[in-house]
Amino acid sequence: MSGKICDHCRTMFYPGDRIVELCEKCANTVWCLINVYEDGSKELSSIHHNEESAVWFKSQNWELINKLNPERENKIIDQLIEEWVIL
């Protein structure tokens, strides 16, 4: 096969497609991890290229958050994973 594939999601490119190493969906989509605090405020924690990476990072963060939360005035109570489109 002489086609090329997206470096991220492995989608096949076909003759005539504009190739920029990533397909249009992967090039314009990120997964954001958002910290949610006791007072209801939210803060961007990290940005990831795929949902699996965001989920893994969230699971790894909880151990650290549980260690640091007791020392904070405004504690992190949750982390949300949101898909954002970049224009």
Residue 67 lies in a domain: yes
Q: What is the pLDDT of residue 49?
A: 84
Is the predicted pLDDT of residue 25 greater than 70, yes or no? Answer: no
What is the average per-residue pLDDT within 40-69?
90
In sequence order, the 6+-apart residues with CB closer than 8 A to the CB of 36 are 42, 76, 77, 78, 79, 80
Q: Name the residue range of residue 66's domain.
A: 29-85
In a domain, 38, yes or no: yes
Instruction: Identify the pLDDT of residue 69.
Output: 87
Would residue 46 count as lying in a domain?
yes
- Strand pairing partners for 32? 47, 82
Q: What share of the chain in percent tops pLDDT 90? A: 44
How many domains, in total, are found in the chain? 1
CA distance linking residue 53 with residue 51, whole number of Å: 5
Q: What is the pLDDT of residue 74?
A: 92
Residue at 35 is within a domain: yes
Residue 2 lies in a domain: no
| pLDDT for 77 beyond 90 | yes
Q: Read off the pLDDT band of 12 (50, 70, 90).
A: confident
56: in domain? yes
Which of 70, 74, 71, 85 lies closest to 24 in space, CA to CA? Answer: 85
In degrees and rounded to multiples of 5, residue 6 shows phi and psi of -65, 135
